[in-house]
Amino acid sequence: MTDARESAPINAMGLTFAGPVGVAAGVDRDGSRIASLDLAGFGHIEIGTVTPETRMAIARRPRHLRIGINFGSQRQGLDRAVIADYCATLRAAYARADYLCANLTAPRGGRDGDTPGVESLLRRLRAERDRLAERSGRKAPLLVKVGVARGDDPAPRAIAAARRLRFDGVVLVCADLRRIAAIKDSLGDLALVSVGGIATAAEMDARMKAGASLVQAYSAFVANGAPALRGAAWAPEEPTRAGV
């Protein structure tokens, strides 16, 4: 069976991905599982959530695999100390990541996309990323991860702030296809990465049709491995021995 990374590449956020299916943050928290996840045929891995206390173990960067680093803070709320943690982790992760994602969905963090001060956080992160890009000569895409409820509730303020501040994309935790499509329409040219509630290959296809540039698996992959996602036009296929 052909490795999915030999199929047509996907362009998003100024990067080329070997395929649109990735592994969500939470599967590999520090980068220690990159080699084994690379063999599953995914196009990207989002490591994390990384905080200032995390000892990252990213020793090798596979040629076919994009590495995202999801970052945040172990502190509660969204005060100056928390913002400082986000900025410090962004600086520590910058050289190791193909893209970076500020996490606003950690259940123990006590913050989300509507927490007072979220605009200040994103503004600081954008400025910090731009300084690092100028210093290094490489502009790593910057995203924010937010959760969105079902129904017609207003989208979190972080989404509008990300577009206004010219972030590169949003990682959206949402299983409602209509909400996904509506938020994608509001993002303009920002990329949308869809995660949450993807249990089958058909659901993966539906997210792409709703406007996602990339999709991420978590629960289905943790429970059943990559075979649970095979069969979709976008799914990773089992690599051949020659492709490993």
- Residue 101 in domain: yes
pLDDT at 238 over 60: no
What is the CATH classification number for the domain harbouring 121?
3.20.20.70
Residues in the chain, total: 244
- The per-residue pLDDT for 233 is 46
- Residue 41 in domain: yes
Cα of 179 vs its chain's centroid, Å: 18
- Residue 84 in domain: yes
- Residue 115 in domain: yes
Domain that holds residue 115: 4-229
Give 168-220 pLDDT, tens digit per residue: 999 999 999 999 999 999 999 999 999 988 878 788 889 999 999 999 986 55
**Per-chain mean pLDDT for the chain:** 85
- The per-residue pLDDT for 171 is 98
Q: Where are the alpha helices (DSSP H) in 113-218?
A: 118-136, 157-164, 177-187, 201-209
- Residue 58 in domain: yes
- Residue 239 in domain: no
Which are the contacts of 4, defined by CB distance < 8 A and separation ≥ 6?
18, 19, 21, 41, 43, 235, 236, 237
> Total structural domains in the chain?
1
Q: Name the percent of the chain lying above pLDDT 70.
A: 84
224: tokens are 């059943």
